[in-house]
Amino acid sequence: MASPRRKQQQHGDGDGDDDSYSFRYLSGLGNSFTSEAVPGSLPGAQNSPLVCPLGLYAEQLSGTPFTAPRARNLRTWLYRIKPSVTHEPFHPCQPAHRRLIGEFDRTTTVATPTQLRWAPADVPQAPPLDFIDGLYTVCGAGSSFLRHGYAVHMYAANKSMDGCAFCNADGDFLIVPQQGKLLVTTECGKLLVPPGEIVVIPQGFRFAVDLPDGPSRGYVSEIFGTHFQLPDLGPIGANGLASARDFLSPTAWFEQAHRPGYTIVQKYGGELFTATQDFSPFNVVAWHGNYVPYKYDLSKFCPFNTVLFDHADPSVNTVLTAPTDKPGVALLDFVIFPPRWLVAENTFRPPYYHRNCMSEFMGLIYGIYEAKADGFLPGGASLHSCMTPHGPDTKTYEVNHANLIQRNPLSIYLPG
Ligand SMILES: O=C(O)Cc1cc(O)ccc1O
Ligand SMILES: [Fe+2]
């Protein structure tokens, strides 16, 4: 229960009920939104008036260069109680974190073409680890400084972030909780993200992760120098896969309390830096723009696949893509294998054996992955680097062939 003092200083969506933030979301991906926690706090006619309503400070957060083409231009105007710049200087985080990588070169990282698989990480009971403490890099490529590349991290946390906020100057985070719900407070408001949903925190947003249901673990993909967008649908048509309206952004929420010693943890070049300030960064009373955090419920994904024979490439399951300048070449695709009916005939159902010019990192949120009968567990992971051969394990292959032989005796190949 919030104290009366807190009640006075925390503000929801302007509906007069400041105590319970109602998790009202704004629907749509790529929209230009407006949101105000106090009616009248958003300047009407301009972005940066000499005097903002309620004496707020106007601050622009740019997600693309000012001059990016209009269709790709991302920025949001934040109207806050104190400007973000009013903090003490940044210093390297003490003690050093040392589990994150932002530059993937041969002096700091190793590369192997071997197929790799990781068992699920135990979520430790002790010591206390928040989302930042529990975050570690698994693999990646490129450079955050050169603004081209990506990193895959995993996290295991047992404690809410307290008196601190995280800011990733390197890139966008796409967070996939596999176990344990996340309550993500951002400068635009709050998002509740249970396993089965994902949340994207674009580069530069300050955010804090609370664990309302206890420990949490999951996956994070990070992209440098670009942002996620919906994939083109080609011959699928105007509808299907992830639908823009199912992406949800928060509504304005702020806290006004004096918070001496509040810490901003900034990731820059894969290194962590801290700066203190005497106020919460979640002091944005109103905002407008199209550069926003958002979440998406993966069960809303509308899968498409083959209906007669052969196996569609996994790109047909792309939820979000981070493009490069080369047509059809993604920096990183976020792809899911959701529950779906498999109706084709005379087709070996699990993924074909293959070698790919793209590297493939996989995690498992729940269930059994159809290509791996054994050993690939929820919370675990696998990595098949580019051109490394992979495909169904032997048990899966044999079971599927046995099934095909029984079901469709005309279509099989009989060894021996
Ligand atoms: O390797 C994997 O399991 C992922 C995958 C799935 C699929 O259906 C086709 C190709 C592919 O890489
Ligand atoms: Fe693959």
pLDDT category, 401, cuts 50, 70, 90? confident
Query: Is any atom of ligand 1 closer than 6 Å to the C-beta of 351?
Result: yes
Query: Is any atom of ligand 1 closer than 6 Å to the C-beta of 177?
Result: no
If one residue of 117, 348, 354 were mutated to test the ligand 1 pocket, choosing by the most ligand atoms within 8 A of its CB, it would be: 354
Q: What is the mean pLDDT of residues 70-93?
A: 97
- The HSE-up count of residue 101 (CA atoms within 13 Å, CB side) is 21
- What's the gap in Å between 340 CA and the centre of ligand 1? 15
384 catalytically annotated: no
Token pair, residue 264, equals 């901003």
Q: Higher pLDDT residue, 224 or 352?
A: 224
- What's the gap in Å between 337 CA and the centre of ligand 1? 9
Q: What is the pLDDT of residues 301-320, one digit of tens each?
A: 999 999 999 999 999 999 99
pLDDT category, 12, cuts 50, 70, 90? low
Query: Is any atom of ligand 1 closer than 6 Å to the C-beta of 360?
Result: yes
Between CA 100 and CA 400 the distance in angstroms is 40
Domain 299-407 falls under CATH 2.60.120.10: yes
User: Which residue pairs, CB below 8 angstroms and at least 24 apart, start in 87-91?
Assistant: 87/264, 87/275, 87/276, 87/277, 88/275, 88/276, 88/277, 89/275, 90/266, 90/273, 90/274, 90/275, 91/273, 91/274, 91/275
If one residue of 390, 393, 396, 397 were mutated to test the ligand 1 pocket, choosing by the most ligand atoms within 8 A of its CB, it would be: 390
Q: Catalytic one among 97, 148, 311, 401?
A: 311
CATH code 2.60.120.10 region(s) in the chain: 4-298, 299-407
- What's the gap in Å between 117 CA and the centre of ligand 1? 15
Q: What is the pLDDT of residues 116-131, one digit of tens each?
A: 999 999 988 889 999 9
Look up the CATH architecture of domain 4-298.
Sandwich (2.60)
Cβ neighbours of residue 211 closer than 8 Å, sequence gap 6 or more: 157, 158, 159, 160, 180, 181, 182, 183
Q: Which atom of ligand 1 is nearest to the CA of 311?
A: 8
Q: What is the pLDDT of residues 140-161, one digit of tens each?
A: 999 999 999 999 999 999 999 9
Q: Which residues pair with 166 in a beta bridge?
A: 207, 265
Token pair, residue 262, equals 């509040």
pLDDT score of 406 more than 70: no
Between CA 100 and CA 271 the distance in angstroms is 7
335 alpha carbon, closest ligand: 1
Q: Higher pLDDT residue, 327 or 411?
A: 327
Per-residue pLDDT, 16? 36
Cβ neighbours of residue 151 closer than 8 Å, sequence gap 6 or more: 100, 101, 102, 104, 137, 139, 140, 144, 170, 171, 221, 222, 224, 270
Query: Is any atom of ligand 1 closer than 6 Å to the C-beta of 390?
Result: yes
Going 35 to 27 to 184 to 22, the CA torsion angle's sign is positive
pLDDT score of 380 more than 70: yes
